[in-house]
Each structure stands twice: as C-alpha cells, then as structure tokens.
C-alpha cells in the first residue's frame, strides 16, 4: 500500500506490485494502512496479508530444512 484516498463512496488506494503501481479498490479491507501488504484480485484488495503468519510459515519450513539437512538427498530436484 503506498497511497489511500476516498473517491465518492469508494475507498481507493495505490498498490505497488514490486515496482508497478496500480489503483485498487479498498472497500473490502477498510482497516488497511500505508505500508501493509494486500492480496489484490481484479482491482479489489480482498485480503490483508498477516505478516506474523507469513513469517511463522516460513519459520516452520526453515526448521524442517535444518532437521532435514543432514539426510537431505542431493538428488532432490528443486522447482526453480
């Protein structure tokens, strides 16, 4: 989220998609603030990204990596 403004009765915002900015309707995520991450679908933010949850999933997966690293077979092909 880089900018938020009201336009008639709609709440709009500008979202930075990794360098490309676009106008997005924020009526469905009224609590969103500048700096937050949102999931956008057809011009509407439908969900605000929960950063704690995002981090938690990554940590669980990392922990798996630590456990597995000893026995990790090098023949595992990784999708790039």
Partner 1 sequence: MKYLAEYRDPGLARAALAELRRIATKPWSIMEVCGGQTNTMVRQGIDEVLPAGIRMIHGPGCPVCVTPLEQIDRALAIAARPEVIFTSYGDMLRVPGSQTDLLSLRARGATVRVVYSPLQAVELAAANPDRQVVFFAIGFETTAPANAMSVLRAAELGLDNYSVLVSHVLVPPAMRAILASPDNEVQAFLAAGHVCAVMGYTEYEPIAATYQVPIVVTGFEPLDLLDGILHAVRQLESGRTEVENAYARAVARDGNPAAQKVVATVFEVCDRAWRGIGVIPDSGLGLREAYAAFDAERRFAVSQVTAQEHPACIAGSIMRGSRLPTDCSAYATQCTPRSPLGAPMVSTEGTCAAFFAAGRRSPSSLVPAPTAAVQPVPGSRESQS
- Give me the residues that bind partner 1 (CB under 8 A), please: 9-10, 17-18, 22, 25, 27-30, 37, 39, 41-44, 46-47, 49-51, 53-54, 56-58, 61-62, 64-65, 68-69, 71-73, 76-80
User: Smallest distance, Å, CB 66 to partner 1?
Assistant: 8
Comparison of 34 and 50: residue with beta carbon closer to partner 1: 50
Beta pairing partners, 24: 13
Assigned token pair, 48: 């605000």
CB 11 to partner 1: min, Å: 11
Q: Minimal CA–CA distance to 20: which of 2, 38, 33?
A: 2
Phi-psi region of 18 (alpha: psi -120 to 50; beta: other; left: phi over 0): left
For residue 17, the minimal CB distance to partner 1 (Å) is: 7
What spatial distance separates the first Cα and last Cα of the chain, rounded to whole Å? 28
């Amino acid at each position: 989220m880089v900018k938020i403004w009201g336009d008639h009765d709609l709440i709009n915002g500008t979202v930075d998609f990794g360098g490309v900015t676009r106008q997005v309707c924020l009526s469905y995520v009224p609590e969103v603030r500048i700096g937050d991450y949102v999931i956008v679908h057809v011009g509407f933010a439908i969900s605000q990204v929960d950063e704690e949850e995002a981090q938690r999933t990554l940590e669980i997966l990392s922990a798996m990596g630590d456990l597995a690293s000893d026995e990790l077979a090098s023949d595992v092909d990784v999708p790039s």
